[in-house]
């Protein structure tokens, strides 16, 4: 397979500043859902009626994916069959591996994931089949393939050969095995599995909305998930957890946290990991990840990151009364597990793809084109000026 590389550049595109949004669609209801619900005032999140905290303690990511897609938790036999079906779809085709080898080694994992998921739609001969069975097939393919894509690209970028999935391992264990090349520690697997549960769905967030807008045009599920990945890539959505760990690395030690927070607030800089568009109370995902972070830190023999994160939480609360969000504690969990910073948001996608697919299937089942209106606030009655009479003094 021939590879044609585009020139790489670090220069960001120049974009004219837009007028500030008055609403950002905050509070707008775009439709009904049976998948998840957030009570922002009380800090509650449910999947299909079940409290997220119960699922994080007692369930598995595969059970949660099944719950979201089928509406109820599986029996033992159905769960075993569901896991087997996912495992049969984890191995990547040679054509997709060839594509990953052709991509620039300096590409970001989120860009690679977006490109590879789009490629999955090219090779699926049933891509235009919109039946429920075909949608479920695509959902399983996407959920099984995303961790394999990321693990394979990571190894390729390190000059190593991708590893095949192990049919005996679940999603979390397979990812850790294919990513690191080592046999995954049982505690690490359980920690990552719980993190995947906590990120699997979260109402009508930006990436989920992007997915259903695409699905509502009756485009295929691969296109919808590609839209979601491109949206999750943004630093105001999935990229916030990367900002948290970069802040912790910049601070260096727990003794420096208060001064760092004071300086950031004095210069009116945003501190990643705090505040949320919906929660007016403690984010329940953050509460569970805080507990998990303490466990993984103790097991790894290093409590530095959780101590710094807790101190940052206390310091921000004392000064601004802001609650932490899911990104604050997920950063220290992933870092302690040895996951590189640039893979924090892609690991988020490993989980959220299950929720995206669930929302797409829900949208397809009772579809209506999503076509909002914009409030025009520009000028009216502007006369057309011939090209030879136009001034050079134009604000673009």
44 DSSP assignment: E
Distance CA 180, CA 261 (A): 34
Write the CA distances from 118 to 97, 114, 121, 199, 256, integer angstroms: 14, 6, 5, 22, 44
Structure tokens at 295: 């466990």
In contact, 377 and 19? CB cutoff 8 Å: yes
Laid out side by side, the sheet with 44-47 consists of 36-39, 44-47, 50-51
Which of 276, 283, 335, 359 does the annotation list as catalytic?
276
Which of 177, 283, 327, 359 does the annotation list as catalytic?
327
Buried b / exposed e over 253-278, threshold 16 CB at 10 Å, is: ebeebbebbeeeeeeeeebbbbebeb
**Any idea what the Cα angle at residue 172 is, between residues 342 and 134, rounded to 5°?**
100
In contact, 174 and 166? CB cutoff 8 Å: yes
Which of 111, 166, 185, 237 does the annotation list as catalytic?
237
Q: Is 250 considered catalytic here?
A: no
Q: Is 32 considered catalytic here?
A: no
In contact, 357 and 139? CB cutoff 8 Å: yes
Distance CA 108, CA 111 (A): 5
Distance CA 2, CA 251 (A): 45
Q: Is 237 considered catalytic here?
A: yes
Distance CA 345, CA 56 (A): 19
Distance CA 327, CA 325 (A): 6
N-terminal to C-terminal alpha carbon distance within the chain: 42
Q: What are 121-130's contacts with CB under 8 Å, separation 24+?
A: 121/220, 121/221, 121/222, 121/223, 121/226, 123/93, 123/95, 123/96, 124/222, 127/220, 127/222, 128/220, 130/218, 130/220, 130/364
Is residue 101 left, alpha or beta, with left meaning phi > 0 and alpha meaning psi from -120 to 50?
A: alpha
- Which are the catalytic amino acids? 237, 276, 327
């Amino acid at each position: 397979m021939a590879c044609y590389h585009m020139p790489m550049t670090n220069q960001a595109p120049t974009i004219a500043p837009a007028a500030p949004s008055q609403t950002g669609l905050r509070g707008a209801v775009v439709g009904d859902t049976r998948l998840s619900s957030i009570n922002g005032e009380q800090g509650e999140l449910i999947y299909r009626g079940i409290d997220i905290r119960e699922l994080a303690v007692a369930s598995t990511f595969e059970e949660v994916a099944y719950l979201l897609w089928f509406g109820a938790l599986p029996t033992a036999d159905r769960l075993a069959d569901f896991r087997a079906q996912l495992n049969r779809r984890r191995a990547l085709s040679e054509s997709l591996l060839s594509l990953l080898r052709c991509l620039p080694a300096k590409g970001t994992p989120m860009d690679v994931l977006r490109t590879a998921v789009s490629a999955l739609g090219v090779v699926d001969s049933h891509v235009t089949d919109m039946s429920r069975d075909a949608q479920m097939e695509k959902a399983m393919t996407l959920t099984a393939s995303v961790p394999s894509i990321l693990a394979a690209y990571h190894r390729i970028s390190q000059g190593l050969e991708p590893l095949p999935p192990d049919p005996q391992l679940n999603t979390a264990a397979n990812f850790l095995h294919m990513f690191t090349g080592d046999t995954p520690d049982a505690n690490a697997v359980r920690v990552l599995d719980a993190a995947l549960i906590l990120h699997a769905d979260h109402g009508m967030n930006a990436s989920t909305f992007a997915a259903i807008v695409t699905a509502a045009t009756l485009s295929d599920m691969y296109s919808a998930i590609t839209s979601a990945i491109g949206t999750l890539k943004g630093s105001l959505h999935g990229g916030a957890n990367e900002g948290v760990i970069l802040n912790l690395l910049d601070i260096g030690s727990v003794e420096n946290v208060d001064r760092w927070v004071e300086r950031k607030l004095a210069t009116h800089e945003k501190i990643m990991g705090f505040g949320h568009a919906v929660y007016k109370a403690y984010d329940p995902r953050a509460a569970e990840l805080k507990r998990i972070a303490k466990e993984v830190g103790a097991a790894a023999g290093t409590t530095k990151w959780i101590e710094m994160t807790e101190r940052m939480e206390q310091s921000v609360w004392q000064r601004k009364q802001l609650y932490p969000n899911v990104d604050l504690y997920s950063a220290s969990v992933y870092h302690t597990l040895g996951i590189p910073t640039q893979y924090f948001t892609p690991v988020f996608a490993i989980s959220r793809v299950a929720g995206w697919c669930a929302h797409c299937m829900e949208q397809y089942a009772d579809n209506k084109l999503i076509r909002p209106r914009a409030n025009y606030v520009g000028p009216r009655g502007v006369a057309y000026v011939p090209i030879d009479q136009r001034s050079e003094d134009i604000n673009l």
